[in-house]
Amino acid sequence: MVYTSTRDAGVNVFAAEAIVRGLAPGGGLFVPTKMPRITGARLSEMVSFDYLGRARGILGDFLPDFTAGEIDDIVLKAYGGGSFEDSGIAPVRKLSDELYVLELWHGPTCAFKDMALQMLPHLITKALEKIGGGGTLAVLTATSGDTGKAALEGFRDVSGTKIIVFYPENGVSHTQELQMVTQEGENVLVLAVKGNFDDAQNGVKEIFADGELGKKLLEKGILLSSANSINWGRLMPQIVYYFSAYCDLIKTGEIRAGDEVDFVVPTGNFGNILAAYYAKLMGLPVGRLVCASNKNNVLTEFINSGVYNRNRDFYATKSPSMDILISSNLERFLYHVSGGDHEAVGSYMRALRDSGKYEVCAEVREKMQGLLWGGHCDDEDTFKTIAAAYKKYGYVLDPHTAVGMNVYEQYRGGAKAERKTILVSTASPFKFSSTVYFALSGEDEGDELGAVKKLAGEYGLRVPPSIEALWQKPRRFERGVRKEDMKSLIAKELLG
Ligand SMILES: *Cc1c(COP(=O)(O)O)cnc(C)c1O
């Protein structure tokens, strides 16, 4: 199977090249030209497999240029090394006969980004080897919180790689900052940029755009790369847990093979929910995909009207990983929903770049509305939902998952569900302890560590070991950098 570009039918590459390049030439995204089919028989067989076995099967279909042994090795390194503290890797919890939670936060950083970023480094180094590249891969990432830490944990001490993360000095939560500045590993560097997330991201983009620097690095055998969520290598591992959750519900007798289920996904960049759509295209019996947004509700409006308009106020919310106005992975969805229309996708994306806005044709809008249901809620409703869900189910939600729960209630509208629903949980409540503790108790703890302790003590929860250890770890990275100095610092760091 080969991969093409969402914007250019002339692009045809193998998986290894798509993964190493990240972005298709001409600015499009890589998409598979043919969707693998998982038949009912194969799905039934998968029920008896563990998470690693399920991952091997799905990955194998998308990576025909990798051997079975290579895929085994990648899956084992990602999920078999003990970095996930739940043996199910992505376990499903039952809240009621109609509602289940898929917990994607048992990895080392307590957010769902680990599901992909524990695998990407092994995928990308193997892919690089396949296309004949040697030397060192230098991964540069600007982060607003969750991605940076997950990338650091994924790439730490992976041979042949270096990982450098830039975060905005005053733009991440206390826990997120601690997670990054205490990062262990010999090949890691963390820098605080004096500016906001856009400054950090623009600085990284400028480094990538500097052909002169790129050439000098290549002469020294260093290839620049990013751990961006538009890389196919980040998307593909996310498809696995949709199949896995479905298999778990069959295994526990909650559904019968073939029954349709709905998924509710707290959404920012549209990566996670897109993986659910891929699972559906591959044959997983999925009814609706419910797309949940916070106050930055550009996607809700798009799903309802067919008009994508990023010209709007940006809100910093209590579910910060969903504070996004340009959902990059939506481009892939539009490609598939339009029946592979490269021209149409290209024109939408040009309009987005030039005017911040585009409108899809009626056919695409109707098809989209058949697949997706969009809703949103603000911070106040997020707090209320955290409290209400605890009361109703005895289950503590993080703010992102709470947005999902709120939108699920809107979707149901008080009626009995047509299908069973799986709510996708994207972070541990302990990653946002003060917000969650405030929502539950009405008390502002003020101090993050204090909130962690109270949340555990008063609500009978176990603190994830990686969060508990944070306050004892030495701070390794105290260096700040001005945005105009990012490039010279990288040149010095990598070229010596
Ligand atoms: C990244 C993230 C999201 C959004 O996921 P997308 O794939 O960007 O839609 C939601 N919740 C948490 C906790 C995240 O870290």
Mutate to test the pocket of ligand 1, among 101, 103, 112, 239 (most ligand atoms within 8 A of CB): 112
Residue 190 has pLDDT above 90, yes or no: yes
Tens-digit pLDDT profile for residues 75-134:
999 999 999 999 999 999 999 999 999 999 999 999 999 999 999 999 999 999 998 877
Verify whether ligand 1 is closer than 6 Å to residue 268 (CB atom).
yes
Q: Is the pLDDT reported for residue 371 higher than 80?
A: yes
Tens of pLDDT along 407-452?
999 999 978 778 999 999 999 999 999 999 999 999 998 889 999 9
Better-predicted residue by pLDDT, 104 or 316: 104
Q: Are 328 and 298 in contact (CB under 8 A)?
A: no
Q: How confident is the model at residue 225 (pLDDT cuts 50, 70, 90)?
A: confident
Segment 268-275 shows an average pLDDT of: 95
Pairing of strands 420-425, 372-376: unpaired
Ligand 1 within 6 A of CB of 144: no
The answer on pLDDT for 296 being more than 80 is yes
Cβ proximity of 102 and 426 under 8 Å: no
| 376-417: pLDDT as tens digits | 999 999 999 999 999 999 999 999 999 999 999 999 997 877
Residue whose CA lies nearest to ligand 1 atom number 14: 321
Atom of ligand 1 nearest to the CA of 427: 13
Work out the average pLDDT over 211-226: 91
Show which residues are catalytic: 113
Residue type, 293: S
Distance separating alpha carbons of residues 40 and 12, to the nearest angstrom: 30
pLDDT > 90? residue 298: yes
The 10s digit of each residue's pLDDT in 17-64 is 999 988 898 889 999 999 999 999 999 999 999 999 999 999 999 999
Q: Which phi and psi angles does 461 have, rounded to 5°?
A: -110, 155
In whole numbers, what is the pLDDT of the chain averaged over residues?
Answer: 94
pLDDT on residue 27: 87
Per the listing, tokens 């970095």 go with 83
Residue nearest to atom 8 of ligand 1 (CA): 269
Regarding the beta carbon of 400 and ligand 1, being less than 6 Å apart is answered yes
pLDDT grade for 496, boundaries at 50, 70 and 90: confident
* 3/15 Cα distance (integer angstroms): 7
Q: Return the pLDDT at 39.
A: 95
How far, in Å, is the centroid of ligand 1 from the Cα of 297?
14
Please classify residue 238 by burial: count the beta carbons closer than 10 Å to its beta carbon, then call 0-12 exposed, 13-18 middle and 19+ buried: buried
Q: Alpha-carbon distance 47 to 42, whole Å?
A: 9
Q: Which of 106, 146, 290 to probe ligand 1 with, by most ligand atoms within 8 A of CB?
A: 146
Lowest mean pLDDT among 76-80, 140-144, 214-218, 346-350: 140-144
- DSSP state string for 89-143: SS-EEESSSSEEEEE---STTSBTHHHHHTTHHHHHHHHHHHTT--SEEEEEEE-
